[in-house]
């Protein structure tokens, strides 16, 4: 069951690897398949070897209801995001370099350009907790109340969207902007951010008008 969701996870897992936003088997992706169930990438398998049958389906208590593979160790993170945000349909967690730099500096990403404003006016840094823990999930959920993209302290980036495409594009956009920010910081010169009022207006405008949605 849920072949389409499994296929999209296989496809976006490969894209994640090609995008260099993860190394090896790191990172994880998931898609909600119903109110109570989600599909998630298996633990520790190379993205280019994952097939649809390797993708487990979990319920909201964390039990595998379909599939024989062990789910990603970060399944609690995905589960808690789905439980707390009913509009979230897909989640991508990656370890891109420049968000990684901000995660070590524990520096949130301010409003720097309109591309990032498609998704967020500000990307917070969630408090540190070890991988795979319930505490990590709680910390990310708490930061996600401010933004659907969250930098995880000393760890990486997590983006939640209305589709896998949106979550993936969000990761790429936030990482690109993080790269500009880190390079700008390295000059030691003054950094100018977009005023909060302008940023909020631009975000609303872009969400309503950008792209081909009717």
**Catalytic annotation, residues:** 74
Comparing CB distances to Zn ion, the nearer of 29 and 88 is 29
Please name which of 30, 35, 38, 29 lies closest in space to residue 58, comparing C-alpha atoms.
38
Q: Which residue is nearest to Zn ion (CB)?
A: 156
Place of tokens 């208590």: 61
Comparing CB distances to Zn ion, the nearer of 96 and 156 is 156
* DSSP alpha helix (H) spans, 29-163: 75-84, 97-105, 114-117, 134-144
Segment near Zn ion (CB under 5 A); pick from 39-47, 61-69, 150-158, 204-212: 150-158
Comparing CB distances to Zn ion, the nearer of 31 and 157 is 157
Comparing CB distances to Zn ion, the nearer of 13 and 156 is 156
Q: CB 196 → Zn ion: shortest distance, Å?
A: 30
Q: CB 152 → Zn ion: shortest distance, Å?
A: 7
Segment near Zn ion (CB under 5 A); pick from 6-14, 83-91, 149-157, 198-206: 149-157
Segment near Zn ion (CB under 5 A); pick from 3-11, 148-156, 193-201, 204-212: 148-156
Kind and range of the H or E element at 174? Answer: helix 164-187
Tokens of 19: 């995008």
Q: What gap in Å lies between CA 117 and CA 111, rounded to an integer? A: 7
Site for Zn ion in 151-210 (CB under 5 A): 156
Q: CB 158 → Zn ion: shortest distance, Å?
A: 8
Q: What gap in Å lies between CA 199 and CA 167, rounded to an integer? A: 21
26 burial type by CB count under 10 A (0-12 exposed, 13-18 middle, 19+ buried)? middle
Residues within the interface to Zn ion (CB under 5 A): 156
């Amino acid at each position: 069951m849920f072949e389409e969701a499994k296929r999209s996870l296989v496809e976006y897992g490969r894209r994640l690897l090609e995008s260099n936003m993860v190394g090896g088997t790191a990172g994880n992706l998931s898609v909600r398949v119903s109110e109570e169930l989600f599909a998630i990438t298996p633990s520790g398998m190379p993205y280019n070897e994952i097939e649809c049958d390797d993708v487990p389906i979990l319920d909201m208590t964390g039990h595998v209801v379909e599939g024989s593979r062990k789910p990603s160790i970060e399944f609690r993170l995905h589960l808690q995001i789905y439980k707390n945000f009913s509009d979230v349909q897909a989640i991508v967690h990656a370890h891109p370099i420049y968000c990684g730099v901000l995660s070590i500096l524990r520096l949130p990403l301010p409003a720097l350009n309109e591309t990032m404003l498609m998704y967020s006016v500000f990307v917070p840094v969630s408090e540190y907790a070890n991988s795979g823990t319930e505490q990590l999930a709680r910390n990310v959920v708490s930061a996600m109340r401010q933004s659907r993209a969250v930098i995880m302290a000393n760890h990486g980036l997590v983006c939640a969207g209305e589709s896998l495409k949106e979550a993936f594009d969000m990761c790429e956009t936030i990482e690109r902007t993080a790269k500009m920010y880190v390079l700008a910081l390295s000059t030691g010169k003054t950094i100018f951010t977009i005023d909060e009022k302008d940023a909020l207006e631009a975000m609303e405008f872009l969400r309503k008008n950008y792209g081909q949605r009717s």
